[in-house]
Amino acid sequence: YIDDIFMTWNRPEEELRKFLDDVNTWHPNIKLDYKIGRSLPFLDVQLTNNNGILSTSVYHKPAAEPYVTPFISDHPRHVFINIIQTSLARAIRYSSTREAFNCERRYIKLMLLYNG
């Protein structure tokens, strides 16, 4: 993604804010909006800093509904298999802990049950 940046910073937060404010003066057509925190979403990954240890999990936008193609629809069977495989692969890939994976696995199970 061209316009998304993720970075970590090991210096005081005030230095980071000063640096980012300075970056915003480099070009008149470029405006950098930023969020600073210990846990932030980036694309579809939730990144969390737990005392210097970076952990990841699947991020779901708050407005996102847990809808997928209903299993009673007239789609080829491979479509439904791909939904399950892709969701589980993403859970494995993005979950840095067993707890995060199990949480996402429960989310997937509920999503599939909800969609029949």
**Taking all residues of the chain, what is their mean pLDDT, rounded to a whole number?**
91
DSSP state of 73: S
Amino acid identity, residue 62? P
Burial status of residue 96 (CB atoms within 10 A of its CB: 0-12, 13-18, 19 or more):
middle
What per-residue confidence (pLDDT) applies to 1?
52
Q: Is 56 helix (H, G, I), strand (E, B) or coil?
A: strand
pTM: 0.78
Q: What is the pLDDT of residues 39-71, one digit of tens each?
A: 999 999 999 999 889 999 999 998 888 888 888
AA letter at 24: N
